[in-house]
Structure 1
Amino acid sequence: QANASSGAGIHDDCKLRFVELKSKRMHRFITYRLENQKEVIVDQTGEREATYEDFTKTLPENDCRFAVFDFDFTTPEDVPKSRIFYIFWSPDTAKVRSKMTYASTNEKFKRTLDGIQIEMQATDPSEISLDVIKERAH
């Protein structure tokens, strides 16, 4: 039984989907949510063709999420590259209990996803705008 101080459990599916994104490149993004404040589960996955805008639209205005986004870009030298972003979405408008449970689960959950290259935390959309992502990727 998980409690607020130890964070929530993590469903096996979370890691499986992440491996699909990282190794098999089957998804563009994955969002994860806490089910009943007790277990992290896969919330949504985005097809490879999905855009960054498609991804940001899945982040709820009044609740937290963990998310990974596989960002493709081209370097100034014309080399195609990709970075896997981990985003801890915790909007100011989310309920305090939700923010606390997500925060206490964040480190543990992040450690289960082997292959994250860039970590970010955001409380509003401007903190994870496409410009910010592009800047962090390089």
Structure 2
Amino acid sequence: MASGVVVDDGVVKAYEEIKVHHRGEVQCDRLKLVMFRLSDDDKSIIVDEENSLKMKDVADVDDVFSKLVSMFPSKDCRYALYDCCYRTKETEKEDLVFIMWAPDEAPLKKKMLYASSKGALRKKLPGLKIEWQVNDLADAKDSSVLIEKLGNRGMIKELEGKQM
């Protein structure tokens, strides 16, 4: 908590909800993307309810990856958890990807606050294996950078149902 920013309890609740798939849970009601932002007073990290998606929100989307990227603001920072579905040569997989979105167009003070608060947030979200930091829209213009984070280009055959 080097920045003095605290993590709201709603963030931990959202993490548990996206991480654990409950028996009998309806697939389309599961979370696909949970976005987090700083509160208006910059003192806590909260769930950005308006920019979170459920599986049903992307059910009819041809390019889920592009839809997710379009959710991020062009001039402000965000954190996100993305429930990424992909297929390797051997099996289908799902992994939670922690994203730190800090575009070049965001104010420097905001980028510094997000960067210094990331550690406090990560401590509240144990067990995440994959982290993706995006500093420029070019980093997210296509899925190749994410695919490298998931394994490697030759290993990943599909991302969100789309052939690679």
TM-score (norm 1): 0.88
Aligned to 1:103: 115
Sequence identity percentage: 28
What is the rounded CA distance, in whole Å, between the counterparts of 1:34 and 1:27 in structure 2?
A: 20
Q: How does 1:27-66 map to 2 (within 5 A)?
A: 27-35=31-39, 36-43=41-48, 44-49=51-56, 50=58, 51-66=64-79
Contact 1:37–1:98, Cα closer than 8 Å, also in 2: no
Q: Over alpha carbons, which structure has the higher Rg?
A: 2
Distance 1:131 1:28 in 2: 20
C-alpha deviation, 1:22, in angstroms: 0.8
Size of the aligned set, in residue pairs, is 134
Distance 1:7 1:98 in 2: 14
* SS of residue paired to 2:97: strand
> Do the aligned partners of 1:87 and 1:122 also contact (CA within 8 Å) in 2?
yes
CA distance in structure 2 between the partners assigned to 1:117 and 1:131 by the alignment? 18
The answer to whether the Cα contact below 8 Å between 2:10 and 2:46 also exists between their aligned partners in 1 is yes
Whole-Å separation in 1 of the counterparts to 2:137 and 2:53: 18
Contact 2:77 2:102 in 1 (8 A): yes
Q: Is the 8 A contact 2:132 2:149 kept in 1?
A: no
Structure 1 contact 31–67 (Cα < 8 Å) conserved: yes
How far has the Cα of 1:76 moved from its partner?
Answer: 1.2
Question: Tell me, which stretches of 5 or more residues in structure 1 are unaligned?
Answer: none
2:99 alignment partner AA: I
Deviation at 1:40, TM superposition (A): 0.5
Deviation at 1:118, TM superposition (A): 0.4
Letter of the structure 2 residue corresponding to residue 41 of structure 1: I
Q: Which consecutive residues of structure 2, in runs of 5 or more, have no partner in the other structure?
A: 22-26, 59-63, 152-164
Task: State the partner residue of 2:9.
Answer: 12
Within-5 A mapping of 1:79-90: 79-90=91-102
The answer to whether the 8 A contact 1:22-1:115 is kept is no
Residue 20 of structure 1, CA deviation: 0.8
SS across alignment from 1:115: coil
